Amino acid sequence: MEAVAALERDAQLMLRVREGDEGSFALLLHQHRRPVVHFLFRMVQNQAVSEELAQEVFLRVYRSRASYEPTAKFTTWLYRIATHVALNSIRDGKYERGQESLEEEIIEGVGRQIPDRRPTVEHNMLTEARLDEVRKAIDALPAKQRAAVVMHKYHELGYDQISKALGISESALKSVLFRAYETLRARLAHLA
């Protein structure tokens, strides 16, 4: 009982899901869907595909509920699944690289939270071009390096969690991150 009490909140929720509590699954979904979709979006650079993959991630979480044991942090387990799904998708080429245009975003009404402070069309274009370069630089990284950078930069996961999510040692992860950031610094140096 003490062990269960010491568990992190998410792991406790997942244990309740295992017992058939659908409400706990809804809580987990509510808490993690945004970071999972964002992680996958940064991995595949395609909104529709990232949503589809996120659905797959939560579906796998749900399917695995019966065998779930809280021996690792829930987020580590979740990102392990998300990473696996993303790497599989990239490997199988199930998504098309590239980004939607500004026009498409306006039509679909799902814009990328572009700040209102940009005053002119020219400034908009420059900002979009800059963002596009950042996106392309990330997209050009090998998939594992990309996953490591995205988890490290945007999801503030610790080295131990990222290394477990990627299935590599911590020292290997640091090498991966070193190479990835070195590549990004070189590719985006001209934006300084």
Binding region for another protein (CB under 8 A):
26, 29-30, 33-34, 37-38, 41-42, 47, 51, 54-55, 58-60, 62-64, 67-72, 76-77, 80-81, 84, 110-113, 127, 130-131, 134-135, 138, 149, 152-154, 159, 164-165, 167, 174-175, 177-178, 181, 184-185, 188-189, 191-192
Report the residue number, 1 or 189, with the smaller CB distance to another protein: 189
Q: How many CB atoms are located within 10 Å of the residue 130 CB?
A: 12
DSSP state of 65: G
Of 142 and 171, CB closest to another protein:
171
The whole-angstrom separation of Cα 188 and Cα 183 is: 9
CB of 74 to another protein, least distance (A): 9
What is the C-alpha separation between 170 and 143, in angstroms, rounded? 17
Query: CA distances (Å), 184 to each of 135, 165, 188, in order?
Result: 11, 22, 6
Shortest CB 31 distance to another protein, Å:
12
Instruction: Work out how close the CB of 91 gets to another protein at its nearest, in angstroms, rounded to a whole number.
Output: 13
Q: How far is the CB of 27 from another protein (least distance, A)?
A: 12
- Cβ-Cβ contacts under 8 Å for 158 (sequence gap 6 or more): none
Give the integer Cα–Cα distance in Å for 153 and 101: 25
DSSP state of 6: T
Instruction: Considering the complex, state which of residue 142 and residue 182 has its C-beta at the smaller distance from another protein.
Output: 182
